[in-house]
């Protein structure tokens, strides 16, 4: 089987949203409850939202494919202060977890950060998302701080910020090809 990483194309957006729903509904209800899971899915994985993010913002969307089928994805972007890339999303299909696919995408984002001279990659992960925290530790991240953020609808994100050092020089500008 051929495994490959490709940028998200507009024609992949519906498949990515279906995958996100599959992962979230499998993983998050025991952690944040069904209502918050559905609220966040509607906020983040409406195909129109992703289409607009893909067209207008400096976000890299990476898909991991088995042959032509998307089984995992990640998104990343430079933080406002310019001293890190944020790994903003990382999701692997439930039947493909723990096969190293998350690690492949983490490595891909860390290589991008190093190539563009961002000194670190950071991410936010729910404090109760123990399997993801274990995965991030396995792939070299450490907890840097704890944050609580209101996201509307009466919900909060109760997260750890984790980070990993990748390079030491000044950042270069965003380019979708990177
Ligand atoms: C977290 C996630 C992205 C990691 O990707 P992955 O491909 O499963 O991870 P890898 O195969 O690269 O690394 C495996 C490590 O992850 C951790 N892990 C992942 N799934 C696990 C599970 N079900 N039970 C226990 N540990 C798990 C372990 O540390 C594991 O290492 P081990 O097998 O040596 O014990 C993926 O499991 C996932 O999509 N989870 C659900 C959604 C999620 O929480 N995303 C992160 C949002 S911040």
Q: What is the pLDDT of residues 106-153, one digit of tens each?
A: 999 999 999 999 999 999 999 999 999 999 999 999 999 999 999 999
Q: What is the pTM of this model?
A: 0.94
pLDDT of residue 86: 98
Could you tell me where the DSSP H helices lie in the chain?
13-27, 29-32, 34-44, 47-56, 101-115, 130-138
pLDDT at residue 171 is higher than 80: no
**Whole-number Å distance between alpha carbons of 116 and 50:** 24
Residue closest via CA to ligand 1's atom 10 equals: 100
Dmax (CA) of the chain? 44
pLDDT of residue 27: 98
Pocket residue to mutate for ligand 1, from 23, 44, 132, most atoms within 8 A of Cβ: 132
**Whole-number Å distance between alpha carbons of 32 and 15:** 24
The answer to which of 85-94, 134-143, 167-176 has the lowest mean pLDDT is: 167-176
**Whole-number Å distance between alpha carbons of 8 and 16:** 9
Residue closest via CA to ligand 1's atom 26 equals: 131
pLDDT of residue 2: 93
For residue 74, give the H/E element and its range: strand 69-78
3-60 tens-digit pLDDT: 999 999 999 999 999 999 999 999 999 999 999 999 999 999 999 999 999 987 789 9
pLDDT at residue 170 is higher than 90: no
pLDDT of residue 137: 98
Tell me, using a 6 A CB cutoff, whether residue 94 lines ligand 1.
Answer: no
Q: CA torsion 26→27→33→35, rounded to 10°?
A: -50
For residue 91, give the H/E element and its range: strand 85-92
With a CB cutoff of 8 Å and minimum separation 6, the contacts of 123 are 86, 87, 88, 90, 136, 141, 161, 162, 163
Mapping DSSP to helix (H, G, I), strand (E, B) and coil, where does residue 56 land? helix
| Contact (Cβ atoms closer than 8 angstroms) between residue 27 and residue 41 | no
């Amino acid at each position: 089987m051929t495994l490959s990483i490709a940028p998200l194309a507009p024609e992949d957006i519906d498949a990515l949203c279906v995958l996100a729903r599959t992962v979230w509904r499998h993983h998050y209800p025991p952690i944040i409850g069904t209502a918050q899971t559905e609220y966040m899915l509607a906020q983040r994985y409406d195909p129109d939202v992703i289409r607009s993010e893909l067209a207008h913002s400096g976000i890299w969307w990476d898909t991991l494919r088995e042959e032509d089928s998307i089984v995992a994805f990640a998104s990343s972007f430079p933080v406002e202060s310019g001293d890190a890339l944020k790994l903003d999303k990382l999701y692997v299909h439930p039947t493909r977890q723990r096969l190293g696919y998350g690690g492949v995408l983490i490595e891909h984002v860390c290589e991008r950060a190093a190539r563009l001279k961002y000194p670190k990659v950071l991410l936010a992960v729910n404090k109760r998302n123990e399997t993801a925290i274990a995965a991030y530790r396995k792939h070299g991240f450490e907890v840097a701080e704890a944050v609580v953020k209101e996201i509307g609808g009466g919900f909060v994100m109760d997260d750890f910020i984790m980070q990993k050092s990748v390079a030491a020089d000044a950042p270069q500008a965003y380019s979708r090809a990177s």
